[in-house]
Structure formats: structure tokens, C-alpha cells
């Protein structure tokens, strides 16, 4: 009985319409190719980080004796060592480890939402979307704290000689970071920090907006009426990508 | 006629095996991150450590793309049209690392 249908299709030809190229819907396909272009953007950033980093001398002493200077590239575990509510403590990479944990967990709840979407289970989709949304917002909050701490810096600060915005060479105590000078290392260190984690945070922000959209629409039954939960799947792809990028940012910015 | 079928999507019951696999993948990702964390404080900084970090990161990326994003379940042409263009990045890495090293020589 299906032979007639197949005959009509073959007469139409591959380019005659009614086909699904690559067996994926238009939206999913475009999301994949957008993500491919975004992979290029983020890899370009991270490789730029690597290139600028190797163009500066590495710190050569013992890790424990590390002192900040704009003459060598900082060791991340000695820079990112603060946690909220504890003033001036030394907890290397603890906070950023927590942020990684939060983002990976929100990726897990996202994939559970997508799985529930495949089963048309509205209740489960709404539940897991809400968890994912919560994870995303918590991550953004953590990043806001991380940035605030990075910008304000330590109480002591570090004495540095640098060229200020009036093109004068000055020697003074530097607190925290801006685009011109920072107490952690050479100026590009803070510039790249703001640039790369900022661009990632911008992606997370858009992701949170999309997650809210999917959560809301799933809750009021838009996808139920539509007959499928593909939007959850597409937003899921984007959200996993944000997690994927963070995995690389974590390695290149905080570990290496 | 369409509104008649509204809210009639049949809910398919959960498949425990599938959900178990998702949580297993999550566990693997978290364990790899924990291993990276431990390595950062126990191993001496150097090329070997960096190599390990990058290798573990690529393993994590593989799990996220294959298990979470289901890229492995897509048809082969789609799979390769995402994976193959990443070859261009290999050149970018080589070119910019060389560039950075040259700037280092010029500067210091």
C-alpha cells in the first residue's frame, strides 16, 4: 500500500521538495550549523589566549612562592582562590570547580527534559526545565560574583610599574583589574579574562532567556498543542553547547 | 478539526535504562572533572600535565556531544559535516602558537 507513495516521491526527485535533508528538521539542522560557527568563534578566542600567553614569559619558581607581576604570566590556581563569605582566604579553584559542577548538572537536567519531551511527558519536561533554569541562573550569579571579586582584587594589591591612560610610566599599588592594568599579571591576562568569560557569560544569559521561554511554553501547553517538543530539543542543543564551551574555558583558563 | 486533537498527546512511560545512561554519563563527566582537579594540585606543572588536561577535556567534549547532544544518533553526513570542519582549527592552533612564540622571541 505504501508502494504508490514511494513511487510519487521518486518521481518528484530529491530536490522536488517534501524531503528532510540529513533526516533532521530545519530548525535542528540550522541550530547545529550555528553551533559549528560558534565553535569556531570560541576556539579562535581560546587559541588567541594560548598565543598571547606563550608570547609572555612563564613563571618559573615554585608554585607556593608565586608573586604577581606584569613581567610573567600568572598561575591560575594562585589567582582564582577566593570563595564567597570568606574574606582573604586561599581556596584555589574551589569556586570555579563549583561553577563547573553547577553547569554540568544543569546540562544533565536539560538532557532529562529533552528525553521527557520525546515521551510527550509535559509534567517531566516542566520539572526538568525548571531545574535547568535554576542551574543556569545560579551559574550566572556565580559568574557575577567571580567578576566582582576579580575587578576589586585583594586588600593589599600589588605594586606595579605600567603605562597609564595618559601614556605616563607610573609605579603604584594596583588593586583588582581593569582593561589597562591588573594586579594579577600582564594587561592581556585581565583583558582575555573579561573577553572570553564575558562572551561565554553572554551566551549563558541568552541561554537562560531561551530556557525560560521553553519552560513557560511547555508549562502553558504550547508544545502539547503543537504536538511535539522539538523546541526543547533545539534549546537543549544550545544549552549543551554552552556547557561544552565552559569545559574548554575551565581547562584553558583555570587549569593550564 | 485540529483543535479536537488538542491535549491528546500520549505520554510514553519512562525507560529506566535510558535515564540510567544519562546519569551514568553525568557521573563520568563529574569524575573526569574531579580527576582534573586532583591532577592540578598533585602533578608538577609542565607539558605532560597540559597534555593530560587537554586529553581529558576532549574526552569530556566527546561525552557531551555524543550522549547529551545526540550527535552520534544523527545520520553520517550530518555527523561528518559538523566534525570534519574542525580540521581547520588544527591549522589555527599551529599557526597561532608559532606566532606567539615568535612574538616572545621579539619581545624578550
Give average pLDDT by consecutive 10-residue segment, chain A, 256 residues: 50 72 87 95 94 90 84 89 84 91 95 94 95 96 95 89 88 91 93 95 97 96 92 96 95 90
Same domain, B54 and B8: yes
CB contact under 8 A, B75 and A55: no
Same domain, B52 and B80: no
Whole-number pLDDT of residue A12: 65
Instruction: Identify any residues that bridge with A174 across adjacent strands, giving them in sequence order.
Output: A158
Same domain, B68 and B82: no
Whole-number pLDDT of residue B46: 84
Same domain, B58 and B81: no
Same domain, B37 and B61: yes
Which residues have a Cβ under 8 Å from the Cβ of A134 and sit 6 or more positions away? A106
Same domain, B9 and B30: yes
- CA-CA distance, A100 to A197, in Å (whole number)? 13
ipTM above 0.90, yes or no: no
Q: Which residues of chain B have pLDDT under 70?
A: 1-8
Which chain A residues contact residue B36 at CB under 8 A? 251, 255
Same domain, B27 and B55: yes
Whole-number pLDDT of residue A198: 95
Interval A108-165: pLDDT, tens: 999 999 999 999 999 999 999 999 999 999 999 999 999 999 999 888 888 988 888 8
CB-based contact A184:A79 (threshold 8 Å): yes
- CA-CA distance, A212 to A220, in Å (whole number)? 12
Q: How many structural domains comprise chain B?
A: 2
Same domain, B103 and B50: no
Whole-number pLDDT of residue A20: 79
At residue A208's C-alpha, the angle toward residues A207 and A211, to 5°, is 85
Same domain, B91 and B101: yes
Same domain, B52 and B33: yes
Whole-number pLDDT of residue A1: 44
Angle between helix A94-118 and A230-249 (nearest 10): 160
Nearest CA in chain B to A222: B7
Whole-number pLDDT of residue A67: 86
Nearest C-alpha of chain A: how many angstroms from B5? 8
All domains of chain A in start order, with CATH: 22-57+67-153+188-255 (1.20.120.80)
Same domain, B66 and B89: no
B 36-75: CB under 8 A from A: 36-37, 40-41, 45, 50, 53-54, 56-57, 60-61, 64-65, 67-69, 74-75
- State the residue range of the domain holding B99: 74-108
- CA-CA distance, A132 to A116, in Å (whole number)? 13
CB-based contact B56:B35 (threshold 8 Å): yes
pTM of the model: 0.89
CB-based contact A214:A129 (threshold 8 Å): yes
Same domain, B42 and B19: yes
Whole-number pLDDT of residue A11: 61
Amino acid at each position: 500500500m505504501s508502494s504508490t507513495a514511494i513511487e510519487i516521491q521518486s518521481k518528484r526527485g530529491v530536490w522536488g521538495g517534501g524531503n528532510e535533508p540529513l533526516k533532521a528538521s530545519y530548525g535542528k539542522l540550522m541550530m547545529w550549523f550555528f553551533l559549528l560557527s560558534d565553535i569556531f568563534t570560541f576556539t579562535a578566542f581560546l587559541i588567541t589566549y594560548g598565543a598571547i600567553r606563550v608570547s609572555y614569559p612563564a613563571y618559573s619558581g615554585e608554585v607556593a612562592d608565586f608573586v604577581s607581576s606584569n613581567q610573567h604570566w600568572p598561575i591560575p590556581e594562585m589567582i582564582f582562590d577566593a570563595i564567597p563569605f570568606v574574606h582573604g582566604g586561599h581556596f584555589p579553584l574551589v569556586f570555579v570547580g563549583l561553577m563547573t559542577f553547577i553547569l554540568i548538572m544543569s546540562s544533565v537536567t536539560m538532557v532529562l527534559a529533552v528525553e521527557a519531551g520525546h515521551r510527550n511527558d509535559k509534567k517531566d519536561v516542566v520539572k526538568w526545565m525548571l531545574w535547568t533554569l535554576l542551574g543556569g541562573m545560579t551559574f550566572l550569579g556565580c559568574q557575577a560574583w567571580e567578576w566582582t571579586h576579580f575587578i576589586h582584587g585583594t586588600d593589599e594589591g600589588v605594586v606595579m610599574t605600567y603605562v597609564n591612560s595618559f601614556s605616563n610610566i607610573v609605579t603604584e599599588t594596583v588593586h583588582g583589574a581593569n582593561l589597562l592594568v591588573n594586579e594579577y599579571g600582564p594587561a592581556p591576562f585581565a583583558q582575555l579574562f573579561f573577553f572570553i568569560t564575558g562572551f561565554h557569560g553572554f551566551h549563558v544569559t541568552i541561554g537562560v532567556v531561551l530556557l525560560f521561554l521553553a519552560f513557560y511554553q511547555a508549562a502553558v501547553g504550547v508544545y502539547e498543542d503543537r504536538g511535539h517538543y522539538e523546541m526543547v530539543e533545539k534549546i537543549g542543543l544550545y544549552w549543551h553547547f554552552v556547557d561544552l564551551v565552559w569545559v574548554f574555558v575551565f581547562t584553558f583558563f583555570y587549569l593550564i | 478539526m485540529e483543535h479536537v486533537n488538542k491535549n491528546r498527546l500520549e505520554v510514553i512511560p519512562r525507560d529506566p535504562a535510558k535515564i540510567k545512561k544519562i546519569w551514568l554519563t553525568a557521573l563520568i563527566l563529574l569524575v573526569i572533572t574531579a580527576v582534573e582537579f586532583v591532577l592540578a594540585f598533585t602533578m608538577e606543572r609542565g607539558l605532560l600535565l597540559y597534555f593530560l588536561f587537554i586529553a581529558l577535556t576532549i574526552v569530556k567534549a566527546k561525552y557531551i556531544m555524543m550522549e547529551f547532544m545526540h550527535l552520534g544518533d544523527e545520520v553520517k553526513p550530518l555527523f561528518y559535516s559538523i566534525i570534519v570542519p574542525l580540521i581547520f582549527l588544527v591549522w589555527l592552533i599551529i599557526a597561532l602558537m608559532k606566532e606567539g612564540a615568535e612574538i616572545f622571541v621579539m619581545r624578550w
